[in-house]
């Protein structure tokens, strides 16, 4: 089934399933130095990888607009306590768990190596119809990613390449190889001066380390239907 994937900028992606359900991962529209799109009026689901401002900025507002937010209990509690997120809009889960958000939409929370103000960092494996997306969140390289590549047929891997706060381009290419992803897209770069400015080193590293993976390097605001 078709899945439309849009890069909003930084680690923010919008997914639209064949049945019309919308998912936003790590929504940062408001105040983002790179996002061109306004904050959506309404989405169905938000997936939050960790509690840092450049990932959690618009989560509470989208919850107030009706989105169901998937996050860890500690982060959900903070969003309700400090940012007024509605109680019934927070869906707690934790590492290793899988939740079915709809008949054609399941998400599995996987680990990431990073830090977080609450909870622990994570990524997600999203299965939408017959298509599987891995969003790795903010992470360093770790070999357990290879296990997820064995367990799931990863069609699209969304991987941070910016270095400094996450893994850099070559480590990101190795992560793609571990996942055995068919297509790989870079994220978490270009946003701040300290981050990598170009995806070219990542694309070059893919040819060396994960030659079976096709690169997709979207422009900010660009979407593609798989």
Task: For residue 19, give the CATH number of its domain.
Answer: 3.60.15.10
For the chain, give the percent of residues with pLDDT over 70. Answer: 100
Does 9 score more than 90 pLDDT?
yes
User: How high is the pLDDT of residue 2?
Assistant: 87
Does 36 score more than 60 pLDDT?
yes
CB distance 18 to 74 below 8 Å: no
Is 182 inside any structural domain? yes
Specify the number of domains making up the chain.
1
User: DSSP label at 89?
Assistant: G
Is 222 inside any structural domain? no
Is 221 inside any structural domain? no
Is 25 inside any structural domain? yes
- From residue 154, how far is each of 95, 105, 178, 203 by CA, in Å? 18, 15, 10, 18
Overall average pLDDT of the 173-191 stretch: 98
> In the beta sheet, which residues pair with residue 217?
none
Is 56 inside any structural domain? yes
Is 201 inside any structural domain? yes
CB distance 69 to 89 below 8 Å: yes
CB distance 218 to 7 below 8 Å: yes
Top pLDDT among 1 and 121 is at 121
Does 224 score more than 80 pLDDT?
yes
C-alpha count within 13 angstroms, C-beta hemisphere, residue 82: 11
Range of the domain at 72: 4-213
User: How high is the pLDDT of residue 93?
Assistant: 98
User: How high is the pLDDT of residue 1?
Assistant: 55
Taking only the tens place, the pLDDT of each residue in 42-96 is 999 999 999 999 999 999 999 999 999 999 999 999 999 999 999 999 999 999 9
Is 90 inside any structural domain? yes
Is 74 inside any structural domain? yes
18 CB-contact burial (10 Å; exposed 0-12 / middle 13-18 / buried 19+): middle
Question: 203-216: buried (b, 16+ CB within 10 Å) or exposed (e) per residue?
Answer: bebbeebbeebebb
Structure-token pair, residue 167: 């893994």
Taking only the tens place, the pLDDT of each residue in 130-162 is 999 999 999 999 999 999 999 999 999 999 999
What is the spatial order of strands in the sheet that 98-102 belongs to? 98-102, 105-111, 122-128, 131-135, 156-160, 183-187, 214-215
CA angle 176, 19, 98 (to 5 degrees): 50
pTM strictly above 0.75 = yes
Alpha helices in 49-142, H assignment, sequence order: 53-56, 59-64, 73-83
User: How high is the pLDDT of residue 122?
Assistant: 98
Closest C-alpha to 124, from 141, 142, 106: 106
CB distance 202 to 215 below 8 Å: yes
What is the spatial order of strands in the sheet that 223-225 belongs to? 90-92, 68-71, 45-47, 22-25, 12-16, 4-9, 223-225
């Amino acid at each position: 089934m078709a899945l439309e994937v849009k890069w909003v900028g930084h680690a923010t992606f919008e997914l639209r399933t064949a049945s019309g359900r919308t998912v936003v991962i790590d929504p940062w529209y408001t105040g983002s130095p790179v996002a061109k799109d306004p904050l959506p009026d309404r989405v169905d689901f938000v997936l939050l990888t960790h509690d840092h401002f450049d990932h959690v900025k618009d989560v509470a507002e989208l919850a107030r607009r009706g989105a169901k937010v998937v996050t860890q209990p500690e982060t959900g509690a903070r969003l309700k306590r400090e940012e007024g997120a509605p109680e019934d809009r927070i869906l707690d889960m934790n590492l290793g768990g899988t939740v079915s958000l709809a008949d054609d939409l399941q998400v599995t929370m996987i680990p990431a190596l990073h830090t977080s103000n609450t909870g622990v960092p994570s990524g997600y494996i999203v299965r939408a119809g017959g298509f599987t997306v891995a969003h790795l969140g903010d992470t360093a390289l770790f070999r357990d990613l290879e296990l997820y590549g064995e367990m799931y047929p990863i069609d699209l891997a969304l991987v941070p390449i910016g270095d400094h706060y996450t893994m850099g381009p070559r480590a990101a290419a190795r992560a793609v190889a571990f996942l055995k992803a068919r297509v790989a897209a870079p994220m978490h770069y270009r946003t701040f001066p300290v981050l990598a400015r170009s995806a070219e080193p990542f694309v070059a590293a893919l040819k060396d380390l994960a030659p079976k993976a096709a690169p997709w390097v979207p422009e900010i605001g660009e979407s593609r239907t798989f």
